[in-house]
Amino acid sequence: MGGRVFILSAPSGTGKTTVAKRLLKELSGLERVVTYTTRPPRPGERHGTDYHFTSKEEFERLVKEGAFLEYANVYGNYYGTPRSEVERITASGKDALLVIDVQGAFKVKKELPSAVSIFLLPPSLEELKRRVEARGFKDENLDRRMKTALEEIPCARYFDYIVVNDFLDSAVEKVKAIILSYRAERSRVLEELERVLRNDEIISLVKGGKCYVEET
């Protein structure tokens, strides 16, 4: 089974990237999937860390090769989640974090029903607008992003979890709790028992002992 895929999605400007950075700092065993985009880097963004920045031609070649688990056109640029990265992370036993837009979240959920989808909600539209404006670069698509947000917010109803990103600390704690709860799932713990528990007696009792309530 390996690690799980967590999808963090929200209207642009809600705080996905900010929440994701905190999660990655505070939770070990979680790795963000660096996605591909055809949009140019913003000041301070680094190739291979924030995105794999790529040309439209290269992106289209990767689409043809089936390299993307999903891809979408967001505000005129292409964005895509590399399938191989998701597989590499989960096969290593780590959880994969996808920070992607709402349409991408639906596509991943359809392809990978075991993925856990989390929708971050802004506390208000006024605050959302403030946050988009506060990002420090001139946003070429502010009006479009705000209009799109009105169509994306109702999609929250289709997600597994909804977290309001009002106060950052509290939103981060909630998302962490969601991820941690999946790490305590029976099937996952049983699969990883030797890694999470260093005691042979307990391991052999859990794996091979008789449960007195059900089995005697």
Residues that bind ligand ADP (CB under 6 A): 10, 12-18, 131, 134-135, 165, 167-168, 171
Contact in structure between 179 and 24 (CB atoms under 8 Å): no
CB nearer ligand 5GP, residue 12 or residue 117: 12
Angle CA 123–125–130, to nearest 5:
90
Angle CA 12–32–26, to nearest 5:
95
Instruction: Give the whole-angstrom CA distance, residue 108 versus residue 114.
Output: 10
Binds 18, which of ligand ADP, ligand 5GP, none (CB < 5 to 8 A, cut-off by type)? ligand ADP
Residues that bind ligand 5GP (CB under 6 A): 12, 16, 35, 39, 70, 72, 74, 79-81, 99-101, 103-104
Q: How many CA atoms lie within 13 A of 198 on its CB side?
A: 0
> Least CB distance from residue 86 to ligand ADP, whole Å?
19
CB nearer ligand 5GP, residue 31 or residue 70: 70
CB nearer ligand ADP, residue 13 or residue 82: 13
Q: Which residues neighbour 33 within 8 Å (Cβ) at sequence distance 6 or greater?
A: 81, 82, 85, 86, 89, 96, 97, 98
Binds 35, which of ligand 5GP, ligand ADP, none (CB < 5 to 8 A, cut-off by type)? ligand 5GP
What six digits make up the tokens of 204? 């052999």
Binds 134, which of ligand ADP, ligand 5GP, none (CB < 5 to 8 A, cut-off by type)? ligand ADP
> Least CB distance from residue 6 to ligand ADP, whole Å?
15
